[in-house]
Amino acid sequence: MSLVKNRHNTRQISVGNIKVGGGAPIAVQSMTNTYTQDIDATVAQIQRLYDAGCEIVRVAVPDMEAAHAIRKIKNALELKEINIPVIADIHFDYRLALASADAGADGLRINPGNIGEKWKIKAVADCATALNIPIRVGVNSGSLEKDIVEKMGSTAKAMAQSAMRNIEILEDLGFYDIKISLKASDVERTVEAYRLISTMTDVPLHVGVTEAGGLYAGITKSAIGIGMILADGIGDTIRVSLTRDPVEEVRVGWEILRALGLRKRGPEIISCPTCGRCRINLFDIAEKVENALLKCPLTIKVAIMGCVDCKGFTCS
């Protein structure tokens, strides 16, 4: 029996070469943490993310230098035959969105509500339409519109209302290639917000728990939060958010998809927790095997056990 309910039927959009929504495979995303204008460092990190299975990557665009860097980043990726959509992440300034799109970004992440006057949002939507690139609206519980927070607090309902407001702004301008995320830093609000929004729109959903924390808290919150949402059949792309090397986000993202039986990539490592029978350094061996198999495309199972005679009786 599948762990996952029937997937919600969302409209399909294209993010570069990746189809999102409408039954397409759930894509794994991440975001670079290099200075985007540092072309070499950003391209090197994107290459590592790509090798780990990242299918859509986002870069921060805090200024014009970063926006213009996108052109060079895309060219460098093309030379290396790395075909991964690059999304420009913009907070407030619509001119950065226009410059990023012009530099070849495959998508924009903005919040129309933060961009200001309608003509600025229209300029971004028109530009995205002309270049045939989507816009992701990123609703975050920590930066909801003031009037919504005053009325509803920073609740899941408020997040859904903000999402709908932002979707309507774009749709009123005739722009429909939208993806939306509604992230909180706790599992409860995040799950509730996605459950709510999935009943309100067919816009494809990017799923994640934001500011989830370091390795242990981040993986735990993401696995439970993203896992519960995906198990409800909700979600078209995912990002695990960790205060770590983003490559680890991608690895965890793939493990979540694998655990739910949604997608597989590379070998599945099965290793025992060790006990007093173990006479080898299994922790070290397991880590080495895991790293050695990172680029292996085969969906095989590799068992790494601490002794020969267990057959699973003790390990559990």
Query: What residues have CB less than 8 Å from 61, skipping those under 6 apart?
Result: 36, 67, 70, 88, 89, 90, 96, 100
Give the residue nearest to ligand SF4 (CB).
306
Strand partners, 207: 238
Residue 232 or 290 having the CB closest to ligand SF4: 290
Minimum CB distance to ligand SF4 smaller for 143 or for 274: 274
Residue 270 or 296 with smaller CB distance to ligand SF4: 270
Q: Which is nearer to ligand SF4, 151 or 277 (CB)?
A: 277
Q: Toward ligand SF4, which CB reaches closer, 264 or 277?
A: 277
| Closest separation in Å from C-beta 268 to ligand SF4 | 17
Interaxial angle between packed helices 118-131 and 94-102, expressed in degrees from 0 to 180 and rounded to the nearest 10: 10
Shortest distance, position 291 Cβ to ligand SF4, whole Å:
21
Question: Measuring CA to CA, how many Å separate 65 from each of 77, 181, 232?
Answer: 18, 27, 41
The footprint of ligand SF4 (CB under 6 A) covers: 272-275, 277-278, 305-307, 310, 314-315
Q: At what angle do helices 94-102 and 64-79 cross, to 10 degrees?
A: 20
11-43: b (≥16 Cβ within 10 Å) or e: bebbbbebbbbeebebbbbbbbebebbebeebb
Please, what is the minimum distance in Å from the beta carbon of residue 278 to ligand SF4? 4
CB of 85 to ligand SF4, least distance (A): 42
CB of 290 to ligand SF4, least distance (A): 17
